[in-house]
Chain A
Amino acid sequence: MTQKKQGTNLLYSMMAEARQYSDVIVLGRGDPDFDTPPHIVAAAKDAMVQHAAENVPPEGIAPLRQAIAARVKRVNNIDVDPETEIVVTNGGQEALFLMVVAVLGAGDELIVPEPNYNTYVDSLKFARGVKVGVTTHYETNFRVFPDEIRAAVTAKTRALLLVSPNNPTAGVIPAEDMRALIQIAHDHDLMIIADDIYDQFVYDDVQHVSSASLPGGKERTLTLNALSKSYSMTGWRLGWIVGAADVMARVKALKAAINGGTSVIAQYAGLAALTGDQAPVTMMHDAYKRRRRIVLDALDAMGIRYGVPQGGQFVFADISFTGLDSATFAQTVLQEQHVLIYPGAAFDSVRAQYIRITFLQPEEKLREGLERMKVAVQKMMANR
């Protein structure tokens, strides 16, 4: 049954199946194993006492928008006016949906470097837009080549999706490519939908560059971010979009239409995250760096090829040598070894030979999960 499902439905089906196994090790979903840092929870408690009934405008409370403006300046080098150029959202997922619906309508084309986070395509379907995929490859660390993007532009193209670090490939767009992509957007009058959610998780001296920070980028870019990954706040649902004031007015109207606002408590928790102690972010980054090495070493030992993850919290690896498609591979690992990994087929239909492995488990558990996966792979190879 699972193999017949696609995209998000395939992932949720596997997550439901994984819950049946009491000893399951989850290396699938992008939900950090760390709990939210205590000082953020404490701030939420204070907010429940002091701000529980506070008015929440659709764009978010002013102190949080000011903190976001400071953050995107500090981390992303993007100048934004907190009054008019920020909308707070229910997590990065809502930000993603709003950006797509704000920019694209029926028949409009969005250029999507593939593979990519499947919710972009789901959101595009809601907007009745059209995906134009541009394939990236592990041999080049899933680099987004500007010339290939330019070749994909048609008269119906309205926007370009840039997710850096990418999910699921973990590829990062270097500055020179980002400049070239902005030039393409300028030449063809395209908007840019930028997803920076993993911007604080890059490795091996790779630099993250936001398109809105470069000349000519800001006026045509909507940029999303969220606290889910960087502060381990997935359950709180807090994110944001920044962009030029004229387009952000449209985003704000859409935000008011789809839910009206974001929980006041989540917003004060987010304020504490952005303005408080940043040591937990550094701690988590260091932990992910170590875990990434563990995963890569294990994949090397199994003979599995991958694009070297330059960022993110996962590895996208090629399992074609097993002779199995990714859904069958992931299903086998889950059923036989109780380890949940995501099949690449869920991220786009042509990625049937890839799997995504997250490193969002403690090192010991991560090692055990990879050991179990190795057993499954050995069995697959023995049965070939």
Chain B
Amino acid sequence: MPTTKSTLLQHHHDNVLLNVPLPAPMMRTPHDLSADEGLFPLDEHVIEGAVTALESGQTHYVDVPGIAPLREQIAADLNATQHSSYQKTNIVVTAGVQESRFLTIQMIGERFERIAIPAVIHPGALKALGVRPMPLDRIPVEAANGYLPTVEAIRATLESGTRFLYLESPSRLTGRAYSADEVRAIAALIVAHDAAVVWDQGLSVWTMGDAYTALSAQPDMAARTAAIGEVVPGMGLASWFISYIAAPEDWITPMQSQKQIMAICTSTASQYAALEAGKLFAQTHPFNAARLKASRMTLIGLAARTNLDVIDGQAVNVLALRLSPDAKARSLATLTDAGYTVADGADFGASDTLRITVTAEATAGHALSRLLV
């Protein structure tokens, strides 16, 4: 007869969603190119700001949704860059983007019977769902669309009856972002079907060239969208676990309650560091993004020399390669032998893809050069 312990362990073993592997949120070694974010230096002003706060006694519980000035700063940044209309009451500061995924999927999901998630997605979305699964539909994707679902695929999903969607733009695998026309079309479908969306826009700050189009800024979408992402990406705070949820207030309430249940608040050291980093972001980020853009162009040039198929994407912090099964196996073996780690697209649902973290330094270039030999 199975014991209580063996039963729960079997239950865990059988939970496919909960057991999906995750890429590390930060680089584990200097040759780790599998992370969501590369290495960036931490400005001394950020350290000073955080230490000053701690030394002045900011070592106690703070408000569940986050300290007010940080929430105000996040709202102001989103409003300035994405034409949104958030107040601090629309913001919850989270202990990392995975917590943002968990809170949105689980708590907004309580309003719906099922959820639709693209067939290619950051595995963190599936993992968050796996803690307390609900019926799941997968939205088909196409390589030609950067592994994002097309507008037609989203339409078909909504017409099938699913009213709760989880979408990324840019894709965390390929960096491909929806165009303004696509976002407008998706918004119109969401409104027409009275649906709701978790919109992972964490890589939006890394899009270059065309202005990023946010779903929540579309007509009637602020009340239907929970936008999530990292706070001040590229400022050296990846290991400090600091992210946000921006959502209508009636959605914030249950997520805030759940945040209280599972953490009370986000670490004050991280919040005050992010507050300070936010003051520097406007001047530091363009420089970081420009360096990554140059690195990415170099990588694309290197890839072209060996006929590697680069998947088109707007976010400059990742580069996705599409390979045949044999070529992928050879490339992974070559990179592993040379001490490099890259993200396997299979973990995202795209078995023909590798993702390389674009670094400001030459690391990614050195890794890709290995594939030229």
Query: Chain A: residues with CB nearer than 8 A to chain B?
Result: 8-9, 12, 29, 31, 35-36, 38, 41, 44-45, 48-49, 51-56, 90-91, 93-94, 97, 101-103, 105, 119, 122-123, 126-128, 158-159, 189-191, 219-220, 232-238, 246-247, 249-250, 253-254, 256-266, 269
CA distance A349 to B55 in the complex (A): 40
Question: What residues of chain A lie closer than 8 Å to B240, measured between beta carbons?
Answer: 52, 263-265
Decide: B131 and A258 in contact? CB cutoff 8 A: yes
Decide: B241 and A262 in contact? CB cutoff 8 A: yes
* Contact A101 B131, CB 8 Å, known A250-B12, A259-B241: yes
Is B42's beta carbon under 8 Å from chain A?
yes
Is B140's beta carbon under 8 Å from chain A?
no
B:54-98 near A, CB below 8 Å: 54-55, 57-62, 64, 94-96, 98
* Contact A257 B98, CB 8 Å, known A41-B54, A190-B4: yes
* Contact A266 B269, CB 8 Å, known A189-B3, A235-B61: yes
28 of the cross-chain contacts (CB-CB < 8 Å) are A35-B59, A36-B54, A44-B50, A52-B237, A54-B239, A90-B262, A90-B266, A91-B264, A93-B262, A101-B132, A119-B261, A159-B4, A191-B5, A232-B59, A234-B60, A235-B59, A236-B267, A236-B269, A237-B266, A246-B5, A253-B19, A254-B18, A256-B98, A258-B128, A259-B102, A260-B124, A261-B25, A264-B239
Decide: A97 and B18 in contact? CB cutoff 8 A: no
Decide: A263 and B60 in contact? CB cutoff 8 A: no
Decide: B257 and A237 in contact? CB cutoff 8 A: no
Q: How far is the CB of A315 from chain B (nearest CB, A)?
A: 21
Q: How far is the CB of A34 from chain B (nearest CB, A)?
A: 9
Is B39's beta carbon under 8 Å from chain A?
yes
Decide: A158 and B4 in contact? CB cutoff 8 A: yes
CA distance A349 to B42 in the complex (A): 49
Question: What residues of chain A lie closer than 8 Å to B33, measured between beta carbons?
Answer: none
Is B127's beta carbon under 8 Å from chain A?
yes
The contact of B95 among A48, A189, A237, by CB within 8 Å, is A237
Interface size class for chain B? 35 or more
Extra contacts, 17 of them, besides A189-B5, A262-B241 (Cβ < 8 A), are: A12-B64, A35-B57, A45-B51, A48-B50, A55-B28, A55-B29, A93-B260, A93-B264, A102-B8, A128-B132, A233-B59, A235-B62, A237-B267, A260-B25, A261-B241, A265-B50, A266-B270
Interface of A is mostly: helix
Is B99's beta carbon under 8 Å from chain A?
yes
Decide: B268 and A90 in contact? CB cutoff 8 A: no
Is B308's beta carbon under 8 Å from chain A?
no
Decide: A53 and B127 in contact? CB cutoff 8 A: no
Is B236's beta carbon under 8 Å from chain A?
yes
The contact of A41 among B55, B62, B265, by CB within 8 Å, is B55
Residue of B nearest to A244 (CB): B5
Question: What residues of chain A lie closer than 8 Å to B148, measured between beta carbons?
Answer: none
Residue of B nearest to A256 (CB): B22
Scoring B residues 1 to 28 as 1 if CB is less than 8 Å from chain A, else 0, what string do you get?
Answer: 0011100110110000011001011111
Q: Which 10 A-B pairs have the closest CB atoms?
A: A260-B98, A259-B99, A235-B268, A36-B59, A55-B28, A264-B239, A97-B262, A257-B127, A250-B12, A52-B42
Decide: A250 and B9 in contact? CB cutoff 8 A: yes
Indicate the member of B40, B59, B106 with the most A CB atoms within 10 Å: B59
Residue of A nearest to B58 (CB): A235
Indicate the member of A35, A94, A123, A258 with the most B CB atoms within 10 Å: A258
Residue of A nearest to B260 (CB): A8
Decide: B18 and A235 in contact? CB cutoff 8 A: no
The contact of B51 among A35, A48, A159, by CB within 8 Å, is A48
Question: What residues of chain B lie closer than 8 Å to A257, measured between beta carbons?
Answer: 18, 98, 102, 124, 127-128, 130-131
Decide: B261 and A126 in contact? CB cutoff 8 A: yes
Decide: B94 and A45 in contact? CB cutoff 8 A: no
Q: How far is the CB of A167 from chain B (nearest CB, A)?
A: 14
Residue of B nearest to A237 (CB): B267
Is B238's beta carbon under 8 Å from chain A?
yes
Question: What residues of chain B lie closer than 8 Å to A41, measured between beta carbons?
Answer: 51, 54-55, 59
CA distance A103 to B4 in the complex (A): 9
Is B191's beta carbon under 8 Å from chain A?
no
The contact of B8 among A97, A103, A258, by CB within 8 Å, is A103
